[in-house]
């Protein structure tokens, strides 16, 4: 029986060891799966962040391109304005130069006229008055022709300068209109870009708020489920504890009943054996003599009424062995219950 109990204990230990190894392997598999899931979530978040960053960079490049184009248009407009101002300055300088030349020619004409008059006076003083008069008339005709020619040149130059000025003004007006149009288009484009940017930011904020609301809802649902599972687990543990206590009490009561039955049975067997020994002794000797057991004198009546110390000693040893076996069985059952209850936890936990 002792050998059987040892083999059962070893078998239980091997079963518990296999269970413990299986649970450890399952825990490792779960940990590896959770780690792989976390790495996948981390890579997915990095991919989403890079994608959003790339989209923002493309929009920034587009906005920078539009701003560069607007600056180039403004620079071109400023260049056209500078060219128009330079042409106007050249025209003013040309007019000033023409006025100076006109004054110079007038001054020369006056000087020539004075010279002619002086010559005329000198000719009048001389005797060749007729020749001088003819010469003066010729000079006058020549001056008139030169004056007429200069007037025609002046009119032609003024017409050409007026045409150039009109063309310059037309170019400046077209440049101004083009600049205003470009400024208007740039303002509209800037307003459109700002509106799109505000709409995009608003959409991103709405998506973030919706995502946060969904995450809060999922978290609340998970917390509720965890609370429900915890409550069920506590109820299950309480029920298992109550069942274990009930089973333990029942096993204890059965062990006590079995021990009492074994004690009574052993006592009856001992009494029957002592009676048979005494009867055999009487039959063999034909009397009721005294006999010595373990240096103590015992007669038939002592053996009959269990007064012999030897019989008491054997009975006490047998009863002690039975009690030890029952206690060992109860201890093994308690260890099995404890291992069964704490089987899902490691030694450190």
Grouping H, G, I as helix, E, B as strand and the rest as coil, residue 24 is helix
CA distance readout (Å), 2 to 183, 252, 267, 314: 106, 20, 22, 19
Confidence of residue 345 (pLDDT cuts 50, 70, 90): very low
Position 297 pLDDT exceeds 60? no
The confidence score (pLDDT) of residue 34 equals 92
Concatenating the DSSP letter of every residue in 190-240 gives: HHHHHHHHHHHHHHHHHHHHHHHHHHHHHHHHHHHHHHHHHHHHHHHHHHH
186: tokens are: 């740039």
The confidence score (pLDDT) of residue 326 equals 60
Q: What is the chain's mean pLDDT, rounded?
A: 78
Closest CA to 16 of 348, 239, 347: 347
74: tokens are: 């403004």
Number of other residues whose CB lies within 10 A of the CB of residue 56? 12
CA distance readout (Å), 74 to 71, 100, 179, 233: 5, 39, 7, 75
pLDDT tens for 198-220 read 888 888 888 888 888 898 888 88
Concatenating the DSSP letter of every residue in 252-295 gives: HHHHHHHHHHHHHHHHHHHHHHHHHHHHHHHHHHSS---EEETT
Q: Distance between CA atoms of 49 and 198, rounded to whole angstroms? A: 20
Which segment of 61-75, 120-134, 281-295 scores lowest on mean pLDDT?
281-295
pLDDT top residue among 260 and 286: 260
pLDDT tens for 14-47 read 888 888 899 999 999 999 999 999 988 998 888 8
Segments making up each domain of the chain, as ranges = 255-341
Terminal alpha carbon distance of the chain: 36
pLDDT tens for 66-90 read 888 888 888 888 888 888 888 888 8
According to DSSP, residue 305 is labeled: T
Closest CA to 340 of 249, 255, 244, 251: 244
Position 260 pLDDT exceeds 80? yes
Closest CA to 294 of 280, 306, 278, 311: 311
HEC assignment per residue over 116-155: HHHHHHHHHHCCCHHHHHHHHHHHHHHHHHHHHHHHHHHH
């Amino acid at each position: 029986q002792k050998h059987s109990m040892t083999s059962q204990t070893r078998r239980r230990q091997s079963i518990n060891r296999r269970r413990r190894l299986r649970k450890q392997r399952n825990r490792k598999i779960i940990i590896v799966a959770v780690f792989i899931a976390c790495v996948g979530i981390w890579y997915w978040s990095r991919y989403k962040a890079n994608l959003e960053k790339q989209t923002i960079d493309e929009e920034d490049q587009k906005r920078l391109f539009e701003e560069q184009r607007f600056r180039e248009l403004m620079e071109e407009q400023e260049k056209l304005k500078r060219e128009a101002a330079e042409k106007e300055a050249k025209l003013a300088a040309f007019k000033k130069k023409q006025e100076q030349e006109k004054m110079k020619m007038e001054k020369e004409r006056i000087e020539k006229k004075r010279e002619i008059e002086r010559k005329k006076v000198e000719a009048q003083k001389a005797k060749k008055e007729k020749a001088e008069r003819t010469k003066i008339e010729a000079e006058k005709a020549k001056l008139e022709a030169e004056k007429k020619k200069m007037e025609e040149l002046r009119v032609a130059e003024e017409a050409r300068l007026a045409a150039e000025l009109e063309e310059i003004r037309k170019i400046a007006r077209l440049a101004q209109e083009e600049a205003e149009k470009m400024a208007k288009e740039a303002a509209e484009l800037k307003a459109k870009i700002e509106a799109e940017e505000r709409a995009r930011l608003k959409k991103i904020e709405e998506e973030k708020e919706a995502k946060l609301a969904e995450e809060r809802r999922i978290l609340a649902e998970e917390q509720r489920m965890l609370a429900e599972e915890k409550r069920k687990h506590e109820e299950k543990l309480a029920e298992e504890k109550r069942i274990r206590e009930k089973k333990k009490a029942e096993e204890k009561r059965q062990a006590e009943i079995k021990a009492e039955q074994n004690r009574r049975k052993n006592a009856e067997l001992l009494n029957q054996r002592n009676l048979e020994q005494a009867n055999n002794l009487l039959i063999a000797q034909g009397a009721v003599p005294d006999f010595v057991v373990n240096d103590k004198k015992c007669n038939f009546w002592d053996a009959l009424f269990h007064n012999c110390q030897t019989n008491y000693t054997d009975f006490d040893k047998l009863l002690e062995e039975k009690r030890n076996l029952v206690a060992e069985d109860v201890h093994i059952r308690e260890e099995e219950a404890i291992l069964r209850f704490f089987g899902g936890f490691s030694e450190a936990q």
